[in-house]
Amino acid sequence: MLLRVGPAALPRVLRALGPAPVASMSTGTFVVSQPLNYRGGARVEPADSSGAEKEKAYEPATGRVIATFTCSGEKEVHLAVQDAKAAFKIWRQKSGLERGRVLLEAARIIRERKDEIATVETINNGKSVFEARWDVDTCWQCLEYYAGLAGSMGGEHVQLPGGSFGYTRREPLGVCVGIGAWNYPFQIACWKSAPALACGNAMVFKPSPFTPVSVLLLAEIYTQAGAPPGLFNVVQGGGATGQLLCQHPDVAKVSFTGSVPTGAKVMEASARGIKPVTLELGGKSPLIIFSDCDLENAVKGALMANFLTQGEVCCNGTRVFVQKEILGKFTEQVVKRTQKIKIGDPLLEDTRMGPLINRPHLERVLGFVKVAKEQGAKVLCGGEPYVPEDPKLKDGYYMSPCVLTDCRDDMTCVQEEIFGPVMSILSFDTEAEVLERANATPFGLASGVFTRDVQRAHRVAAELQAGVCYVNNYNVSPVELPFGGYKKSGFGRENGRVTMEYYSQLKTVCMEMGDVQSVF
């Protein structure tokens, strides 16, 4: 008897995976039999599929293969870009209000299909379905937000001498490429496509080969909402497909979410074509807990900063600096709460931590815990492989969330992005000292501070070298606020009004009302 997905959601999830997916409900595993590329308003097999490299996508909860697909090569990438180019010609002519209407309708459909989208995300990514529903909320909100901004896109009028004048036009860029990571597959696709389409661009999106499925739902939703065929296309594949997209001469911009080393390659390839890039990269963010904080909120904040999506979150506050006076109390409460996190089948309603994305990644994260111990850190809880009781989950990639203490700034667990459920606790004495240590990292994505002292909160927020600073909370991402990094965590922003600027360009029109004053 399958109880992992609510019975009402099941037929809809099956529909979501394609008109005729093979589904083995007795194992709770879906096998996607539909093509995972989307071009010209329909699912398609890649044009160059014969003999091309094949990839498998897994269900992390069970270790089963849920989809096999072909990586897109040069021909398929070209066709997707050409379809996007054709759609751009139509889309750019529409008023902002008309574009906004399509986005609003897509937002409405996402909201209506929230449960099935969240379920598909959970099956392919492993995050708890409880959390996946939160993610989907941020997605329809994002589309609604940019739908509202689309109509207000415009320039300014400037008066010049002699009745002449100038004005600026904010214009779309053309075909934009989105390349996504596997930790928030549907959300990343929404955060990139919504502002891109609102500005009048078309998009070709490549998800991570680990999570190829849910973005197809978004592609179909855009079509259903009235987007012209080719406006939002999906190609599948890994690094080679990503490079083809960055190098394509008809691509105007690349927005990338992923690791720092890959970000450098994306920037390099795009630089050859003088293409602007947005880079949303990794982090090793500090969370600073002052002794005057509200302790319970700080403890909850530290868990939110470390254990969402099994710790696989770019902006996680994994270096938790705690002022010495409250170190004991804080640590004790953090451990108590961490041990209560329910790990297991992510499709069950009460699960709060599912499996990691795949076995190599699980082993990598466990390896960080091992090195931390060797370097002198103390494991207060977790950091072990976890085997759920349910036999169908025995091949899943689970581990128990880990709290490390006695950490030093020079330890590997404090310096490198682990991207798993591992919190490193460090102690500090003074504000000046902790700021120095918090900023001593090549990353600069996010940061956090817990204190009741208002002036200190603003002082610390101003001094932290990071694109985001959470005060008395952590890992909330309202779409109205820009999100993005400093230093090696990247540049450009997602969300917020400013992102309209990253998906558009400014034209100056200079209007002469008199005669030409020639020097010749």
- Within residues 437-496, the interface with ligand NAD by CB under 6 A covers 445, 485
What DSSP state is assigned to residue 308?
G
71 sits near ligand NAD (criterion: CB under 6 A): no
Q: Looking at 201, 262, 285, 405, which residue binds ligand NAD (CB under 6 A)?
A: 262
Give the whole-angstrom CA distance, residue 6 versus residue 8.
5
Minimum distance between the CB of residue 149 and ligand NAD, rounded to whole angstroms? 20
Q: Looking at 121, 280, 345, 431, which residue binds ligand NAD (CB under 6 A)?
A: 280
Judged by beta carbon, residue 345 or residue 417, the one nearer ligand NAD is 417
Judged by beta carbon, residue 183 or residue 451, the one nearer ligand NAD is 183
Provide the CA 238 distance to its chain's centre, in angstroms: 17
Which range binds ligand NAD by CB under 6 A, 66-74, 239-247, 363-371, 376-384? 239-247
Catalytic residue among 142, 314, 315, 469: 314
Phi then psi dihedrals of residue 19, to 5 deg: -60, -35
257 sits near ligand NAD (criterion: CB under 6 A): yes
Q: Looking at 33, 259, 297, 400, which residue binds ligand NAD (CB under 6 A)?
A: 259
Judged by beta carbon, residue 239 or residue 376, the one nearer ligand NAD is 239
Judged by beta carbon, residue 5 or residue 57, the one nearer ligand NAD is 57
Distances (CA, A) of 315 to 117, 251, 280, 355, 483: 23, 29, 10, 19, 10
Burial class of residue 154 (count of CB atoms within 10 Å of its CB; 0-12, 13-18, 19+): exposed
Tokens representing 210? 């680990």
Tokens representing 73? 């090569």
Judged by beta carbon, residue 49 or residue 183, the one nearer ligand NAD is 183
Q: Looking at 209, 317, 354, 444, which residue binds ligand NAD (CB under 6 A)?
A: 209
Q: Looking at 41, 172, 242, 444, which residue binds ligand NAD (CB under 6 A)?
A: 242
Minimum distance between the CB of residue 481 and ligand NAD, rounded to whole angstroms? 13
203 sits near ligand NAD (criterion: CB under 6 A): no
Tokens representing 25? 């409900």
CA torsion, ordered 390, 391, 393, 396, to nearest 10 deg = 130
Instruction: List % helix, strand, coil for the chain (3-state, nearest 5).
Output: 40, 20, 40
Minimum distance between the CB of residue 256 and ligand NAD, rounded to whole angstroms? 7
Minimum distance between the CB of residue 110 and ligand NAD, rounded to whole angstroms? 20
Give the whole-angstrom CA distance, residue 40 versus residue 71.
18
Judged by beta carbon, residue 265 or residue 459, the one nearer ligand NAD is 265
Burial class of residue 427 (count of CB atoms within 10 Å of its CB; 0-12, 13-18, 19+): buried
Site string for ligand NAD, 17-56 (x = CB under 6 A): ----------------------------------------
Secondary element (H or E) of residue 39: strand 37-39
Cross-sheet strand order for the sheet of 490-491: 42-44, 37-39, 232-234, 202-206, 175-179, 251-257, 277-280, 490-491
Minimum distance between the CB of residue 404 and ligand NAD, rounded to whole angstroms? 19
265 three-state secondary structure: helix
Q: Scan for tokens 């499925």, then name that residue.
A: 213
Provide the CA 166 distance to its chain's centre, in angstroms: 39
Check: CB of residue 307 under 8 Å from CB of residue 320: no
Judged by beta carbon, residue 100 or residue 180, the one nearer ligand NAD is 180
Catalytic residue among 59, 121, 131, 280: 280
Q: Looking at 146, 182, 222, 502, which residue binds ligand NAD (CB under 6 A)?
A: 182
The number of residues that bind ligand NAD (CB under 6 A) is 29
What DSSP state is assigned to residue 375?
T
Q: Looking at 28, 282, 301, 448, which residue binds ligand NAD (CB under 6 A)?
A: 282
- Within residues 419-438, the interface with ligand NAD by CB under 6 A covers 419
Q: Is residue 71 among the annotated active site residues?
A: no
Phi then psi dihedrals of residue 152, to 5 deg: -100, 5
Q: Looking at 11, 239, 360, 385, which residue binds ligand NAD (CB under 6 A)?
A: 239
Give the whole-angstrom CA distance, residue 465 versus residue 460.
10
Give the whole-angstrom CA distance, residue 181 versus residue 480.
22
Judged by beta carbon, residue 141 or residue 183, the one nearer ligand NAD is 183
Which range binds ligand NAD by CB under 6 A, 240-248, 368-376, 399-407, 507-515? 240-248
Distances (CA, A) of 55 to 66, 126, 210, 491: 11, 18, 9, 31
Q: Is residue 363 among the annotated active site residues?
A: no
Question: Which residue numbers are catalytic?
Answer: 280, 314
> Rule CB under 6 A: which residues touch ligand NAD?
179-184, 206, 208-209, 238-239, 242-243, 246, 257-259, 262, 265-266, 280-283, 314, 417, 419, 445, 485
